[in-house]
């Protein structure tokens, strides 16, 4: 798992940006752009629907065309297409059915029965794929807290004027 100041793992996942299903590679999609990775559990779960709509309505998508966003869950691309349409989402949703990317980004936990459970989370990368902010839910079924998106909004503003200095405020975990 890449922590603050470390380069995030590259990945390629199948997903959809709307009408077509295709592969998305992080390094190509995010090259030179601040990128927000939003990990969620399932399309249509109440807490995840609120989370994904909140991200869609975030200021960084409205005011900064340079910011890229990728939603990642274990659901399939056709479910994602319908979920995007039903909720008017404007960013791609990717399928990590093997939980590989969840593992690489530390967004999975082992349940008592040994099953790997995905976790909700948000990761902000700068244009070089350096981790600048990371948040993960303490409990997947807790109500969505808008604080992570508020943090990303403020960090994106800082990132636009980033001179390469290390940021002093970065959350590497917790809720």
CATH of the domain at 56: 3.40.30.10
Residue 63 CB neighbours (<10 A): 12
Q: What pTM was estimated for this model as a whole?
A: 0.86
> Which pLDDT score is estimated for 19?
87
Question: Tokens at residue 20, please?
Answer: 């077509």
List the strands of the sheet with 93-95, edge to edge: 21-25, 12-16, 93-95, 68-73, 35-39, 121-125, 131-136
Q: What is the DSSP letter of 144?
A: P
Contact 83, 43 (CB under 8 A): yes
Answer yes or no: is 42 within a domain: yes
DSSP states of 82-96 as a string?
A: HHHHHHT--S-EEE-
Q: How far apart are CA 40 and CA 80, in angstroms?
A: 12
CA distances from 141 to 7, 30, 135 (A): 29, 29, 15
Answer yes or no: is 169 within a domain: no
Answer yes or no: is 165 within a domain: no
> Which pLDDT score is estimated for 61?
65
DSSP strand E in the chain: where?
A: 12-16, 21-25, 35-39, 68-73, 93-95, 108-110, 116-118, 121-125, 131-136
Answer yes or no: is 5 within a domain: no
159 backbone dihedrals φ, ψ, rounded to 5°: -65, -35
Residue 38: which of 85, 89, 76, 4 has the closest Cα? 89
Structural domain containing residue 64: 12-160
> Which pLDDT score is estimated for 161?
57
Question: For each successive 10 residues of the chain (175 residues), what is the average pLDDT?
Answer: 87 94 97 94 93 84 79 97 96 96 91 84 94 89 79 78 39 40
Tell me how many domains the chain contains: 1
Answer yes or no: is 16 within a domain: yes
Q: How far apart are CA 81 and CA 23, in angstroms?
A: 14
């Amino acid at each position: 798992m890449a922590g603050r100041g470390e380069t995030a793992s590259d990945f390629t996942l199948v997903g959809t940006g709307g009408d077509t299903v295709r592969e998305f590679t992080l390094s190509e999609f995010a090259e030179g752009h601040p990128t927000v990775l939003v990990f969620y559990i399932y399309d249509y779960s109440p807490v995840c629907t609120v989370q994904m709509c909140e991200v869609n309505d975030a200021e960084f998508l409205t005011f900064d065309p340079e910011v890229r966003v990728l939603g990642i869950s274990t659901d399939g691309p056709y479910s994602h297409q319908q979920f995007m349409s039903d909720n008017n989402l404007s960013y791609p949703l990717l399928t990590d059915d093997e939980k590989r990317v969840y593992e690489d980004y530390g967004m999975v936990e082992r349940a008592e029965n040994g099953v790997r459970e995905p976790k909700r989370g948000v990761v902000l990368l700068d244009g070089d794929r350096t981790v600048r902010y990371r948040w993960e839910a303490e409990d997947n079924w807790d109500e969505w807290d808008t604080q992570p998106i508020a943090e990303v909004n403020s960090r994106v503003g800082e990132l636009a004027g980033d001179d390469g200095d290390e940021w002093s405020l970065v959350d590497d975990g917790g809720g």
